[in-house]
């Protein structure tokens, strides 16, 4: 390849997501103001910050004062370190075989929940001549990862034999903090966590951090704050379908919006069918817009014949099946529509709005899945900072 060819600039498909970092910062500050001053905040940026871009979001949250970052696995933590993030990083899912050395090299704090994992980190730390912190996860009722409460004493005693790791934190995860009719279960989780914590202390461990509350726990169960909370979805303005219905809920701001442009307009006669499986039949002469976005981009196939978009401030329905790369919309009732028109799939345009939660409800899923599913081939445009030439 010639040097001149390597510097060529190509146009891009007109489909993009906008990420409002000011909204992210405002949401973080709302969480910060809700918890007590002596409670630290771990901002969860796993799954590429719920699809919003982990590095860019972490950099802004660091400037806002985030105390910790939460990731799912060491690979995500390493990406943050390579991007210059200095705050403590907790690997919520622990680590895999062979990754203990990476946790030490990149100064990542793993969650541990079985002895083999703890022992492998202890060996790696001893070989490196260091003592490394871990957080122990207690399973108080979620049933996924964690040491069962009835095994906590034995686990704590066995950990005490490992001299190159230190239990700096003990944590759990709420199963139903967003459901008021299950508050008793959440309170039982808090109680069982406290009992397990005392077992660790009785075995000589002196954890400085206690971590229970996810987004829903932060707003609905202040008794479960401990001294470190870990907001996730609310940071990204995803809250209507994950927080319990309380009178004093903060008005979190949506952070991501999704857009494309019309690439083709065609008139379809009454009675003609559209798309795979011919699932849409025009009941009138219909003006159909082809949109260059599909389910590989994360616009869910479940939105076929059900979703809505905004064009020139008018809500227009999705027609036919969403395919891998393309989607069709009925824009018959959109005055003055032309090829190249901006289309908002979720977000605000012209005084109308479609929220991520609206999209999720239509697709019978959760808002988290919608944003996490926006694929890498959809470029993220960050504001303020990176100005979009697509606006």
| Residues identified as active-site | 46, 276
First to last CA, the chain: 34
Rounded distance, CA 79 to CA 82, Å? 5
Q: How many CA atoms lie within 13 A of 184 on its CB side?
A: 1
Rounded distance, CA 174 to CA 186, Å? 7
- Retrieve residue 18's tokens: 């906008």
Rounded distance, CA 216 to CA 86, Å? 27
Q: Dihedrals φ, ψ of 11, to 5°?
A: -70, 160
Among the listed residues 209, 126, 96, 192, the one whose alpha carbon sits nearest the alpha carbon of residue 153: 192
User: Using N-to-C axis directions, what is the helix angle for 183-202 and 152-159, rounded to 10°?
Assistant: 40
149 to 95, 104, 133, 171, 191: CA distances (angstroms): 22, 28, 21, 12, 11
| Cβ within 8 Å of residue 182, ≥6 positions away | 175, 176
Category of 63 on φ-ψ map: left (φ > 0), alpha (ψ -120 to 50) or beta? alpha
Radius of gyration of the chain (CA): 24
Three-class SS state of 76: helix
- Retrieve residue 326's tokens: 């393309």
295 to 59, 347, 371: CA distances (angstroms): 29, 18, 13
């Amino acid at each position: 390849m010639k040097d001149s060819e390597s510097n060529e600039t190509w146009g891009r498909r007109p489909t993009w997501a906008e990420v409002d970092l000011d909204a992210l910062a405002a949401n973080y500050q709302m969480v910060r103001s809700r918890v007590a001053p002596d409670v630290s905040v771990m901002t969860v940026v796993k799954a590429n910050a719920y699809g919003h871009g982990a590095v860019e979001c972490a950099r802004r949250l660091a400037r806002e004062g985030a105390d910790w970052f939460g990731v799912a696995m060491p690979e995500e933590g390493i990406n943050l370190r390579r991007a210059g993030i200095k705050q403590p990083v907790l690997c919520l899912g622990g680590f895999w075989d062979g990754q203990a050395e990476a946790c030490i090299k990149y100064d990542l704090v793993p969650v541990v929940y079985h002895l083999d994992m703890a022992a492998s980190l202890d060996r790696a730390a001893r070989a490196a001549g260091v003592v490394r912190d871990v957080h122990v996860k207690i399973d108080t009722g979620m049933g996924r990862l964690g040491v069962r409460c009835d095994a906590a004493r034995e686990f704590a005693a066995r950990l005490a034999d490992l001299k190159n790791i230190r239990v700096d934190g003990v944590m759990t995860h709420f199963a139903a903090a967003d459901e008021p009719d299950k508050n008793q279960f959440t309170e039982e989780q808090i109680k069982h966590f406290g009992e397990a914590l005392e077992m660790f202390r009785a075995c000589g461990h002196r954890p400085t951090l206690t971590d229970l509350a996810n987004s829903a726990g932060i707003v609905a169960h202040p008794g479960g704050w401990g001294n470190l909370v870990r907001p996730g979805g609310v940071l990204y303005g995803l809250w209507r379908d994950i927080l319990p219905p309380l009178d004093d809920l903060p008005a979190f701001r949506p952070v991501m919006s999704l857009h494309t442009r019309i690439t083709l307009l065609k008139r379809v006669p009454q009675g003609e069918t559209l798309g795979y499986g011919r699932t849409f039949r025009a009941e009138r002469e219909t003006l159909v817009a082809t949109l260059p976005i599909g389910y590989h981009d994360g616009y869910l196939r479940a939105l076929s014949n059900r979703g809505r978009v905004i064009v020139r401030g008018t809500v227009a329905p999705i027609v036919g099946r969403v395919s891998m790369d393309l989607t069709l919309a009925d824009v018959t009732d959109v005055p003055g529509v032309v090829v190249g028109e901006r289309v908002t799939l979720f977000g605000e345009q012209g005084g109308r709005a479609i929220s991520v939660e609206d999209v999720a409800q239509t697709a019978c899923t959760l808002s988290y899945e919608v944003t996490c599913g926006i694929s890498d081939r959809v470029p993220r445009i960050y504001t303020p900072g990176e100005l979009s030439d697509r606006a």
